[in-house]
Structure 1
Amino acid sequence: MIKTSKSLVILLLLLSLFLLNSCNSKVEENFESVIIDSVIDGDTVRLSSGEKIRIIGINTPEKDKEKLGKEAHTYVKDLIEGKKVYLEKDKSDRDQYERLLRYIWIEIPKELSKKEIETKNLSAILLKKGYARKYTFEPDIKYENIFQEIENEARIEETGMWEINKNGTTRGDKLNVQLQF
């Protein structure tokens, strides 16, 4: 009887490990690993192939035209240029300028919780720092609610662009100047 119990425990442990790995594989299979060749702007990067990526979900101040534009560009450059990151597609493949539309992750998340998103998703990191505002369009809205929550927190705390101007500093701010709850 004891032998059967040990075998059963071992079988259950192996099954648990298999299921855990299967769940992680499901999350990981949604990501593509790439190296960022250069940062064009706070919300646009280039791969070594020349392919441009427009980061989904945010708008950062223009590098040479708006307050905090240079800071947003430098922050993104220091964080990901020349480094391995993970791309995640939402619904659309490209924008009207033929840039790839992707979320950029510093690390693959273990789960899609707010904590994981705001510490590993580049859009969320920039929103939290006040270097970006939420800028989402149908159908690419997978993280829209979390991004809005993070932006609202940055506004309330007057972080980054929200310290300079309650309405932000990007051109997109003219579209929506009130907090959304």
Structure 2
Amino acid sequence: MDSEIKKSLQILKQGGLFLYPTDTVWAIGCDASNLEAVKRVYALKRRNLNKALSCLVADERMLKRYVKQIPPAALNIIDVTDKPTTIIYDNAQNLASNLIAKDGSIAIRIPDDDFCYGITRKFNGAIVSTSANISGNFTPKSFKEITPAILKGVDYVVNLHHEKICSKPSSIIKLSNNGIVKIIRE
């Protein structure tokens, strides 16, 4: 796994895109602070620029770098949830402007996966994590289901868990600083 993290780090630092397994589904990733790399992800997925992307961070300490004010409920959810959960936070900061939603929010997940933890920790920053599919198409449950267009569109494919069958995308919860909680996807 260390060699895969090392290769992925090179791609991230060069502003490239990589395809990698997460604790949910196979994802397309890039440096979440690199405007041009994020543009490439949108283009590859043929995704509407008004539909935000999510990103991964290693831990709560790293999360604080990208969210001005973390609602106390977020830390409770992170600690008690037993399934992958992405939280949408208000007042994003220190990320590519095209990654932040029009309302200033950002979707971030702290994954329970050794590779994802390792890459975010070694990169010392957030990475984009969006399903490895063309927008509107089904989310691949395994590496074999990823389309050639996606495979050709990235600069590197992580050579781990190609046989892994993924369960499903993470749950998504929007936690507003005003205390409003909204379940986006269970």
Larger helix proportion, structure 1 or 2? Answer: 1
Return the TM-score normalized by structure 1: 0.27
Greater relative CO, 1 or 2 (CA 8 Å, sep 6+): 2
Return the TM-score normalized by structure 2: 0.27
